[in-house]
Each structure stands twice: as C-alpha cells, then as structure tokens.
Amino acid sequence: MSLRFSLKYSGHNRSGLLVYPELLTLYYPHLGKDGVILWLFLAMQAQTQPVTDTATVARQVDLSLAQFDEALALLLQFGLVSIETAPDGGQVILVHDPLPEPEFKAIFGTEAAAAAEESGAARVTATSSSPSQTVDPFGDLLRYYEEKTGWITPKISEDLAKWVDDGFEPAVIKEAIDEMMQKADSPRYAYLNAILLSWHKNGWLTRQDLEQARAKARKDAFQGVPNAAAYREPDSEDIARIRRWKELFPDEYDA
C-alpha cells in the first residue's frame, strides 16, 4: 500500500556540501547502502519535489516497499529523518543533516562510532570469496509485521523502533504480533500497541521474560484445578507402596 507524504529539509549548517563525510564514516556502517542512498534521495527530493509517496520513492531508488520501510526505519533510528503530522492530517518526513562526530558520539555513544570504524576496517579486509551474513533483527521485525498485516507505514516503523529502544527484543514484538493476529477481529497497530503496553508494564521484554510468565500462568491454572494436589509427583513412599501392591496383586498389574 503506497502512502503519500510531504518532504521538508532542515539542513542549513553545511548546505554547500554535496556529501557529508560523517554519512560515510559514521552512519554508513549502521544504515547500509540502502539507507544512505535513501537519505541522499530524500534530501534532494525535499528541495526539488516536496510531495511524493512511498511507492514512487521506492521505485526511484530501486527498493522494494519492504526494503524502503526498513531503510526508513534506520534513518528514523539514527535521527536522519523524523515524522510530523501536517495541519491537514497528512504525514511530513523531515530530513535532517548527519551529525558531526562529537555530537554523534554524545547521542549514540562511542560504541556506535567504534563499531563504524571496525565495520569500515572489515570491509577493507573482506574478500568476495567469504561473503558475510548480515543479522538485522529489526529489519526482520518490519518485514514480519508487513507479512502478517499486509502493510506498514513509516509511522508504525518509527513506533516499533521506539519499542525496541525501550528494551523490547524484536522476537518478543513478533510474538505480540502473533497474538494480535489470533485475537483481534480486525488487526490494527493500536491493538498491537495495547499488547506491548501491557507487556512492558509487566516487564516482559525478553523471550526469557515471556517464557517465565507463561510457565507461571500454566502453573497457576493447574493449581486452580479441583484436586490439583492429587496430581503431584510420586515420592519414595508412593513408589514403595506401588511395588508392594504389585507383589500382592500381580495379576491386576499384568493384565
């Protein structure tokens, strides 16, 4: 489903630069080729064609809609774009300049900058004979949501990124999506958001948290069964008693 939006460019500090060095040295290892190309294209479009839609932009940068959503979510995560609501209710994507290195480190931490340097070194030493496998749990989450519901918006991508920033493992959000699909008559993001709010309140942020909560729920449900105590594991006395009965009444046990 293609969504129409407006574009605005907020960059004024170094408008004479065609390409920011930080975009390649700091952001590229996190955004990848798709994210960098999408940012460059959106920055250009914001100054030349401020009204467009997701399908058009995805086609122009040679991305599928799923790839576009994934790249846009990364731009949101690293503050290169933000989403606003226009007075008419439409969506506005505001394009921001890459941060200088000191500000990048202050916001995203020195670990992100170090990871960028390591990633750059790895790209220099890597060979085509040993391709690397990219692990992208958040991108997988976006694709999973779109696969289950049929569509995803930039705003939903941004909200899911916020939930991950709040501590949710992407795998747990996938479980919440499954629960929404099973229980909601009309699956909508508002329903998923309600599930995540409840789980966050209960502290169920990881798969381990969720498994422990489900195990406790099963145990509590079992305790509510009539004569639940009768279903306890046999102890040594029970086993000895059973053996004596087998000796006294072998026919009954062999039948």
Residue 203 has pLDDT above 70, yes or no: yes
pLDDT at residue 59, as a whole number: 92
- E strand intervals along 98-240: none
SS3 19: coil
Please give the Cα distance from 86 to 151 (Å, whole number).
Answer: 22
Question: Domain residue spans in the chain?
Answer: 4-125, 137-221
Q: Residue 47: is its pLDDT beyond 70?
A: yes
- Indicate whether 209 pLDDT > 60: yes
Residue 124 has pLDDT above 50, yes or no: no
**The pLDDT of residue 120:** 45
What's the chain's average pLDDT?
78
For residue 143, is pLDDT > 80? Answer: yes
pLDDT at 229: 53
CATH number given to 137-221? 1.10.10.630
Q: Read off the amino acid at residue 210.
A: L
Pairing of strands 4-9, 91-95: parallel
pLDDT at 55 over 70: yes
Give the pLDDT band of residue 89 (cuts 50, 70, 90). confident
Report whether 107 contacts 116 (CB < 8 A).
no
Rounded Cα distance between 236 and 46, Å, is 77
Residue 175, pLDDT above cutoff 90: yes
* Weakest-pLDDT range from 1-5, 128-132, 185-189, 215-219: 128-132
Under CATH, which number does the domain 4-125 receive?
Answer: 1.10.10.10
More confident residue, 98 or 120: 98
pLDDT given for residue 121 in this prediction:
43
Higher-confidence residue of 254 and 191: namely 191
pTM of the model: 0.48
Using an 8 Å Cβ cutoff, are 13 and 97 in contact? Answer: yes
23 token code pair: 């975009």
The reply to whether 4-125 and 137-221 are identical in fold is yes
Share of the chain above pLDDT 90, in %: 20
- 3-state SS class at 15: coil
Instruction: Show the tokens assigned to 197.
Output: 């709010």
pLDDT at residue 131, rounded to an integer? 43
Distance of alpha carbon 163 from alpha carbon 78, whole angstroms: 15
Each residue of 14-30: pLDDT tens digit? 555 456 888 888 898 88
SS (H, E, C) 206-248: CHHHHHHHHHHHHHHHHHCCCCHHHHCCCCHHHHHHHHHHHHH
SS3 state of residue 33: helix
Inform me whether the pLDDT recorded for 138 exceeds 80. yes
